[in-house]
Amino acid sequence: MNLSTRAAGVAILGALLFFGPTSTNAATPPVGSIGPTPGSSATWSGGPYVVPTPVPDVCPPASDSTNVRCDHFQLTVNVPSSYWATHTGGADIQITWGSSDDDFDLYVYDNTGNLVGQSASGGTTSERFLLQNANSDQSPYEVRVVPFLTAAATYNGSATFVSQAGGAPNPPRGTGGLVFSPPATVVDGQRTEGEPINWLDPIDGSYWESGPWGITTQQSFIHRSTDGGNQFNIDSPIGTRPDAGPGGGDTDIITDDQGNAYFTDLESLIELDCAVSNDHGNTWRRNSFCVQTTGVDRQWYTVDNGSDHSIGTAGADDNTVFSTRCRASLAAASFASTPCGETSTSRARRTTTSS
């Protein structure tokens, strides 16, 4: 850092201490609402922000009421939670700014203070994600804009109500076979993976990606896109693996019809773990001894969303998650059902409660 830049920073901090916090940065307007009409939107702007804020935890509204550390926009979505039983969509939330030299991050909290979504990348001029099934029961949402690394930068924000009747449409298939476009999106320019796995959620249309960094690192990653694959965000509160180790081997990830996500990581060819998230990957609960069989390799998940209405209406109680894995000790040619030869399948009924 050159001396003039550092001196300017000291002068700014000194002014803040002398004059006290001001609200000139605050979102304008500070509140907005969208829905129930598809395409209805709310816009706002904020800044300038000079002093960086490293994480959203240091600027909750209670301690940042004048929007000095972060910006806080209150968003109300005018549909009840029951609306999404017959529709698909949510709130498409986006912030943009002028230069990739600046870096804002986007976090959204429900009216009880729970983090329900985030978009935090670097080297871009926007952050965006779809808050699926956004509703009036959890409103107003706090859209927290964090100036991670900015130099007197301003930003513009928008929220659009996205909705269509029924479930998410299946991807279209043209005539003449499948055609793949050239690579269009770099999932993560920092964290490298081997043997990545993709999963397209048939309910909400979000893209999930997972892969291992390697046993020596004990790291495996999950990324998720809610905008059709234009941008992926890592599902981790600290930017590394989503849950506690060990791991770093083959991974898989799937979702069910209740919005729950299931993740598995190979623990150095020893055992398999199982992890479940009830909040779209923001937090995970893990069982490190899910499959207590040594010498296993290349596991997969699949889910049966069920139709056993004798136990009640369709929901998590009638879902079944299947885990399939290879026996690494057998030759690859033993069986043709999987690349590794013999497989064994376990069936486990799980009851999960969405948060």
Domain membership flag for residue 284: yes
Tokens of 116: 């329900």
136 alpha-carbon distance from chain centroid: 21
**Helix ranges, the chain (H):** 3-19
Identify the pLDDT of residue 23: 47
Domain membership flag for residue 150: yes
Query: Same structural domain for residues 141 and 211?
Result: no
Identify the pLDDT of residue 308: 52
Query: Same structural domain for residues 237 and 331?
Result: yes
CATH number at residue 103: 2.60.120.380
Query: Same structural domain for residues 148 and 102?
Result: yes
Query: Same structural domain for residues 68 and 158?
Result: yes
Tally of structural domains, the chain: 2
Identify the pLDDT of residue 71: 96
Domain membership flag for residue 341: yes
Residue 53 has, within 13 A of its CA and on its CB side, a CA count of 23
Question: pTM for the full model?
Answer: 0.55
What's the domain range around 278? Answer: 197-349
336 alpha-carbon distance from chain centroid: 36
Q: Which residues of the chain are modeled with pLDDT < 70? A: 1-24, 168-183, 268-270, 292-295, 307-318, 327-355
Tokens of 287: 């069982």
Domain membership flag for residue 11: no
Angular region, 152: left φ>0, alpha ψ -120 to 50, beta rest: left
What proportions of the chain, in percent to the nearest 5, are helix, strand and coil? 10, 40, 50
Query: Same structural domain for residues 97 and 218?
Result: no
Query: Same structural domain for residues 267 and 334?
Result: yes
Query: Same structural domain for residues 155 and 202?
Result: no
Domain membership flag for residue 73: yes
Q: What's the rounded Cα separation, in Å, for the pair 235 and 223?
A: 6
Identify the pLDDT of residue 169: 64
Identify the pLDDT of residue 216: 80
Identify the pLDDT of residue 355: 31
Strand partners, 7: none
Query: Same structural domain for residues 140 and 272?
Result: no
Residue 55, SS3?
coil
Query: Same structural domain for residues 214 and 323?
Result: yes
Mean of pLDDT over the chain: 77
Query: Same structural domain for residues 159 and 201?
Result: no
Q: In the chain, how many H helices and how many E strands?
A: 1, 20
